[in-house]
Amino acid sequence: MAEEKKEKAAKTKKVADPKAASIDTATQQMISRAAELDIDTIFDRAVSMKPCNIGNQGTCCKNCGMGPCRLPLPKSGIEGEDNRKGLCGATANTIAARNFIRMIAGGAAAHSDHGRAVAEVFRSAARKETDAYKIKDIHKLLSIAPLLGVEIKVKDEEGNELDRDIDEIALEVAEAAMEEWGKPEGELKYLKRAPEALYEKWKKFGVLPRNIDREIVEIMHRTHMGVDQDYKNLMKQGTRAALADGWGGSMLATDLQDVLFGTPYPLQSEANLGVLKEDHVNLVIHGHEPVLSEIIVAVAQRPEMVEYANKKGAKGIQLSGICCTANEILQRHGVPLCGTFLQQELAIITGAVDAMVVDIQCIFQNLANVAKCFHTKLITTHPIAKMEQDNVIHIEFDEHHAVEDAERIVKMAIDNFENRGSEVMIPRQKNVQVAGFGVESIEYHLGGTFRGTYYTLNDNIINGRIRGVAGVVGCNNARTKHNEGHIEVVKELIKNDVIVLTTGCNGIACAMEGLLTPETAGVYCGPGLAEVCETVGIPPVLHLGSCVDNSRILLAATEVVKAGGLGKDISDLPAAGSAPEWMSEKAISIGHYFVASGVYTVFGVTLPVSGAPVFQKYLFEEFEKMYGGMWDLEVDPILHARKMIAHIDKKRKALGIDKARDRVLMSMEDRMKLEA
């Protein structure tokens, strides 16, 4: 009977259509291979399991044992008073706002805890408790020290200013940074890095974050049954926590990583599953924190390790990455990107991955089930991120024995090379990319050695060659076609002379598509942007790193404000934000700190607020009156990009620089569609 049932289930099992699942041919190929091998992937699960409609609308509350209370929007809509209530009387607005800010708390916690882990390693390095990490970028250390209240000069007895000892500065920076997570009073120190007008807005609306942890804890308190019941007041706390992420935890993570591991500068690499090599040991690194992967990169390059791999019959060791750990080691070492979030199972299905090492965030539990079908060793490394399956090896990483941990992992991958099955299938697709941009390199490339500022970028925005700036970031989402939204949005933007700053999986998608090369400019860009890119030799899509590196976008926008001519606040800039295929709570936190920093931010796929129209209106319209930025949702990628362009044009008009552009690229019909 059981066998019969199994057979029936196998016959009725829904499998993904590769062409409908992804625009990427390597991904399509591997989805087909998974089906041939009868291995279940996220693409199959997405076609066999529908999302919950009420959760999707944001109006399911399970914050107490009397629920879940489910408040779907009636099919006919709401006419007159909205009488929907949970058992306790919570309205749809309250429930949706609570759920929304709990997502912000989840995202801010993930980014900020990542930042804290880096700060702890930084402190160990500053205290000389570990030999594995050293301060690499002294210049950056000296630039952030004063922002954290650490003096970089001392006065001698005669009043002469002398340089302070670097180790002393590093230790004080480490301690000052750690304080930001839990200091008992005051506000986050980095908030003053924002344009003054923006800081004053935050102050006026009472959303200056006090410390990072407190804002997250307070969300959990306020959203507990029977506490905060006003969606506006709930969002005030959501705003505080999101700002504590963007201008706190994430920004500290980026800065301390740059000081420890080096500030990225542009370099060349490759992207997509085709970076795996059949005759090499393939070690794939996946997750978010670069503290372990940095050491793995160093260990894997050691001649004795390469020799060991040769002895085992491999030509060398090929490191590659998935998700944001990948972006971290790409931007500092040129390690190629193996794929985006949705390609993690597919990498193992090539049969060529000897070991996959994961740290935190965005890791599918199903990796363990897929790894079981192959020789791949799956290694978890973080005490807060383990898996229950028995084929998973846990090597707990610690900065005090970082090198030994990395050596064990690299050796394990090498030793496993000989266990590969004969059925290896690596797609050939890969593309060249230039990545590793940041606030400093944009200044250099678009400002030049003499000026070293953002004036040239501003000039090009003012004269209209560059119509505006877009930050396009975020995940893949299995509820929509893999990479389609990312690529169509970005192509539409650059076609209309909007320069794109990218991070996260959008950066990986663009790299796979070949959009991260200077040559792309001549193919896909409007004439203005193409001219600028060709003159300075940069791609029209600048890869700024991982999810925490969205803080680089905030700082780049601040530099543009400072350079002058484009208003006094980030909200004055002809700029917009986007996450076409978001899925993670971190994306909601990022989206909200962009909005609260003055950026019009459009999400694709879905947004869990549609079941509470009043709350949605608050986010989509009323936020603009306070912070200058607001949320939007647009599923169609072309309309998504065009809404961003329309906002950029609105800002150009307000600045009086709309006349500089004589080309009208959107037809009246297009505009009417947008206004409808």
Q: Which residues bind ligand MSK (CB under 6 A)?
A: 288, 323-324, 341, 362, 474-475, 504-505, 546-547, 584, 586
> Dmax of the chain from CA atoms?
93
Comparing CB distances to ligand SF4, the nearer of 95 and 538 is 95
Q: Does 229 bind ligand SF4 (CB under 6 A)?
A: no
Question: What is residue 645's three-state secondary structure?
Answer: helix
Closest by CA position to 403, among listed 302, 317, 273: 302
State in angstroms the smallest separation of the CB of 106 from ligand MSK. Answer: 11
Using CA atoms, how far residue 456 sits from 26, 289, 521, 535, 599, in Å, is: 39, 34, 18, 12, 22
Which residue carries 């169509």 as its tokens? 488
State in angstroms the smallest separation of the CB of 592 from ligand MSK. Answer: 15
Residue 433 interacting partner from ligand SF4, ligand MSK, none (CB closer than 5 to 8 Å by kind): none
Q: Which of 39, 61, 326, 368 binds ligand SF4 (CB under 6 A)?
A: 61
State in angstroms the smallest separation of the CB of 552 from ligand SF4. Answer: 38
Q: Which of 45, 62, 193, 495 binds ligand SF4 (CB under 6 A)?
A: 62
Residue 474 interacting partner from ligand MSK, ligand SF4, none (CB closer than 5 to 8 Å by kind): ligand MSK
State in angstroms the smallest separation of the CB of 612 from ligand SF4. Answer: 13
Comparing CB distances to ligand MSK, the nearer of 33 and 586 is 586
Comparing CB distances to ligand SF4, the nearer of 63 and 112 is 63
- Enumerate the H helices of 87-211 as residue ranges: 92-126, 138-144, 166-182, 196-204
Q: Which stretch binds ligand SF4 (CB under 6 A): 86-94, 173-181, 390-398, 443-451?
A: 86-94
State in angstroms the smallest separation of the CB of 100 from ligand MSK. Answer: 17
Pairing between β-strand 153-155 and β-strand 377-380 as defined by DSSP bridges: unpaired
State in angstroms the smallest separation of the CB of 99 from ligand SF4. Answer: 10
Residue 61 interacting partner from ligand SF4, ligand MSK, none (CB closer than 5 to 8 Å by kind): ligand SF4
State in angstroms the smallest separation of the CB of 223 from ligand SF4. Answer: 9
Cα–Cα distance measured from residue 203 to residue 137, given in angstroms and rounded to the nearest whole number: 33
Comparing CB distances to ligand SF4, the nearer of 224 and 400 is 224
Cα–Cα distance measured from residue 641 to residue 651, given in angstroms and rounded to the nearest whole number: 15
Q: Under a CB-based contact definition with an 8 Å cutoff, are residues 250 and 548 in contact?
A: yes
State in angstroms the smallest separation of the CB of 595 from ligand MSK. Answer: 18
Q: Under a CB-based contact definition with an 8 Å cutoff, are residues 486 and 506 in contact?
A: yes
Cα–Cα distance measured from residue 72 to residue 102, given in angstroms and rounded to the nearest whole number: 19
Cα–Cα distance measured from residue 141 to residue 172, given in angstroms and rounded to the nearest whole number: 11
Closest by CA position to 475, among listed 583, 374, 329, 383: 583
Q: Which stretch binds ligand SF4 (CB under 6 A): 88-96, 178-186, 315-323, 475-483?
A: 88-96
Cα–Cα distance measured from residue 346 to residue 432, given in angstroms and rounded to the nearest whole number: 20
Write out the DSSP string of 475-539: ---TTS-BTHHHHHHHHHHHHTTEEEEE-HHHHHHHHHTT-SSTTHHHHHS-HHHHHHHHHHT--
Which phi and psi angles does 615 have, rounded to 5°?
-65, -40
Size of the site for ligand SF4 (CB under 6 A): 14
Comparing CB distances to ligand SF4, the nearer of 84 and 647 is 84
Q: Does 90 bind ligand SF4 (CB under 6 A)?
A: yes
Comparing CB distances to ligand SF4, the nearer of 90 and 234 is 90
Q: Does 64 bind ligand SF4 (CB under 6 A)?
A: yes
Comparing CB distances to ligand MSK, the nearer of 104 and 475 is 475
Cα–Cα distance measured from residue 345 to residue 340, given in angstroms and rounded to the nearest whole number: 10
Binding mask 65-84 for ligand SF4 (x = CB under 6 A): -xxxx---------------
Comparing CB distances to ligand MSK, the nearer of 111 and 465 is 111
Question: Which residue type does 522 have?
Answer: G
Q: Which of 86, 266, 545, 608 binds ligand SF4 (CB under 6 A)?
A: 86
User: How many Cα atoms sit within 13 Å of 98 on the Cβ side?
Assistant: 24
Q: Does 225 bind ligand SF4 (CB under 6 A)?
A: yes
State in angstroms the smallest separation of the CB of 230 from ligand MSK. Answer: 30
Closest by CA position to 263, among listed 272, 254, 271, 276: 254
Cα–Cα distance measured from residue 401 to residue 167, given in angstroms and rounded to the nearest whole number: 21
Comparing CB distances to ligand MSK, the nearer of 272 and 571 is 272
> Which residues contact ligand SF4 (rule: CB under 6 A)?
61-64, 66-69, 86-88, 90, 95, 225
